[in-house]
Amino acid sequence: MARYPELQGKVALITGAGRHAGLGEGIARRLLEEGCKVVLTDIGKGRGAEMPVTAVGTDEEMAQVAAALAAATGGECVAMALDVLEEAQVEAVVAATVARFGRLDILVNNAGIGYLMKPLLEMDAGEWDAVLGVNLRGAFLCSKHAARQMVAQGDGRIVNIASQAAKSPFPHAAAYCASKHGLVGLTRVAALELGAHGITVNAVCPNHVTTGLGAWQNEYFAEKTGRSVEQYLADMRARIPLGRPGLAADTAAATAFLCSDDAVYVTGEALNVSGGEEVH
């Protein structure tokens, strides 16, 4: 049942949402349940060694996710291919969204690379550039073009999916942590500049969520720390006050709140959704 009736009929664009059981899929599901019309995007095909086809939402998978969400929620959900590194594509997808639905009310910058994990001394410049490109440049480009439409409308909501890594560092994640720290900085500046236009800009900072990517991270860090995956997860649960890792639904709930009228006076925030693991 919808919690925020004011979201009925709002138009939301979500990046990096073309994978089954991914964080973007969870956010799309929640906004559809709230009555939003959703455009979900993903890159559609691989792009070089840093973005192999096995790590991205393909055109086929993205179409499947959109169809399944529409069937499950009864809402309107369409898929559009978008490489967030390409400004012309970003501008075109925003224009296509407005052409189809007449407006754009919500942007969720969810596209990100979280699978290029290496020690600082082993990461090459191409890997660094890929992570910073998708996680930060992509959010900048999408925010820029979505905000232009929102300024014309006189309101809008931008939600950036950051991470606990935007608050606290962890090994093998120099590029990832740098990009998420940067995303919070972008959030704050955008909030300052866009507030006069009735646009709020906030970030959500979840802790670990075991999506498909999250499962790979579990295996990677368990192996690097000499533990079984089961022990790694048990240790994770032990350090989280609420006793479990995050769910996609937790991040989706925070996103829906930030898009609702209950958050009309909330902007420039980096909201922890971590079960108490992150406290600043």
Q: Which of 4, 37, 180, 232 is catalytic?
A: 180
What is the torsion angle, in degrees rounded to the nearest 10, for the CA atoms of residue 88, residue 90, residue 95 and residue 98?
180
> Smallest Cα–Cα separation from 107: which of 272, 258, 277?
258
Count, in order, helices (H) and strands (E) of the chain.
Answer: 9, 7
> Smallest Cα–Cα separation from 273: which of 257, 261, 8, 263?
257
Helix (H, G, I), strand (E, B) or coil at 105: coil
Asked about 180 being catalytic, the answer comes back as yes
Helix (H, G, I), strand (E, B) or coil at 260: coil
Burial of 89 per CB tally in 10 Å (0-12, 13-18, 19+): middle
Query: Do the strands 106-109 and 77-81 form a parallel or antiparallel pair, or are they unpaired?
Result: unpaired
Q: Which of 4, 10, 167, 176 is catalytic?
A: 176
Q: Which residues are catalytic?
A: 176, 180
